[in-house]
Amino acid sequence: MSLFDYTLKELQDKLHNKEITVSDLVAESYSRINAVDDQVKAFLTLDEEKAKAQAKQLDQQSREHTSLLYGLPIGIKDNIVTKGLRTTCASQFLDNLTDPLYDATVMEKLQKENTVTIGKLNMDEFAMGSSNENSSYFATRNPWNTDYVPGGSSGGSAAAVAAKEVFFSLGSDTGGSIRQPAAFCGVVGSKPTYGLVSRFGLVAFASSLDQIGPITRTVEDNAHLLQAIVGHDPMDATSVDIDIPNYSETLDQGVKGLKIAVPSEYLAEGVSPEVKEAVLNGLKVYEDLGATWEEVSLPHSRYAVAAYYLLSSSEASANLARFDGVRYGVRSAQAGSMLDMFKRSRSEGFGDEVKRRIMLGTFALSSGYYDAYYKKAQKVRTLIKNDFEKVFEDYDVIIGPTTPTPAFKVGEIIDDPLTMYANDILTIPVNLAGVPGMSLPCGFSSDGLPIGLQIISKHFDESTMLRTAYAFEQATDHHKKQPELGGANK
């Protein structure tokens, strides 16, 4: 039995009783990476020497009153800044950022919990993508079947957890970039309420939408990792100062009497029959557990994709203006003048998808088009937020599929941006409204690929979201099925 098959509590008991060491955990993580990452390709950078030195140091410390995360290997998405550890955002523009000078706030929090950073995980360049094929280095593969994508942009983060290379990971979610890959890879991923987790040290894509969140194998693990990274941060002006509950204390309270809303738009045309069936079966599980559900409408969700790509691209255009070859990043060696240097550095440093979104955002913000596009998209965003708030007046949670289909094949739609964008149609509204959402496994396709169930709750009500997810997980065994690398499970 692999150490990765134990729960956090079981591992901490083994550490406390000296049945295993932190060094054993770290060694097993790197052993697994050496065995399977040539197929999965989840990691961009490994930090083996430093990780093993930290493990040895932790083994010498007292384990009294330590957290459940103590000594556990974690992977970090490569757009989260790590002091002294290469951070590239999977872009050639930051290929030479080998020694960042500071840690993101979430990294400081994890250090207090004594987790061990194994390395940095692959992603779509600057978090722009839904398949991980936009990485400027290589595409990550889905551990359930390496012919398929793991989702994006946190594809490396989800794939590494599904492949048992790390116990858990951090990703970032701008329009579904934690939940969508979690669904594709059969793991648990959550996007917290906007402002609950500090964005300081997260390389910005769209500042009003980005959120860091945990990817784990179980809901309980997700609650523990989320607990470690939440909280107010004076370094982030959008960080909210509120009382944080203990998420794990309420996990087992059940869902009897819970009122579930199921948006008709989330099960409409475009959602595959297999996904719809899995979600409806999931709702039957909730009925058996004492919850009730009713169909509702989120009428403005049909405009979410258009509004999101206008707003996120506009913010990306502004945020990525800092990458000019002057202050940091790779500078073109072919430039003959200052303006030529700007143009060549950006042309050579950015990939096609990043360029596409910068151009769209710059157009939407330009004189004569601002009111027609950007301002109108902001108004639509408000309408989407109001839709959620109206539903939450009468219901505790919203449930539906995470994605319209299971994972698609590598190369299948990479040349069709509009189809790729539509893949996030069920996750984008959550980011526009700023509410929390998570994905957990609820079944498998006929090809053996995971299907994700999405649970959405009110602002800052992560406790209800996690409790709802935990009840489902305990009543089913979808999360217990493991991928066999190199072929689909049937």
Question: Helix H segments across 240-303?
Answer: 273-288
Strand segments, DSSP code E, in 101-167 are 116-121
Q: Which residues of 450-488 are buried (b: 16+ CB within 10 A; e: fewer)?
A: bbbbbbbbbbbbbbbbbbbbbbbbbebebbeebbebeeb
The residue whose two tokens read 């027609």 is: 372
Q: How many residues are given for the chain?
A: 490
The residue whose two tokens read 């189809």 is: 419
Query: Which two tokens mark 59?
Result: 């083994």
The candidate with the shortest Cα–Cα distance to 471, out of 287, 296, 295, 293, is 287
Helix (H, G, I), strand (E, B) or coil at 476: coil
- Tell me the pairing of strands 168-173 and 73-77: parallel
The residue whose two tokens read 């994006």 is: 152
Query: Which two tokens mark 332?
Result: 């073109």
Task: Just list the catalytic residues.
Answer: 77, 153, 177
Query: How many CA atoms are closer than 13 Å to the CA of 373, on its beta-carbon side?
Result: 19
Q: Is the dihedral of CA 366, 369, 373, 374 positive or negative?
A: positive
Give the bridge partners for 260, in sequence order. 293, 397
Helices 8-16 and 219-229, interaxial angle, to 10°? 70
Check if the beta carbon of residue 432 is closer than 8 Å to that of residue 308: yes
The candidate with the shortest Cα–Cα distance to 130, out of 412, 380, 481, is 412
Helices 22-40 and 48-59, interaxial angle, to 10°? 160
Query: How many CA atoms are closer than 13 Å to the CA of 112, on its beta-carbon side?
Result: 11
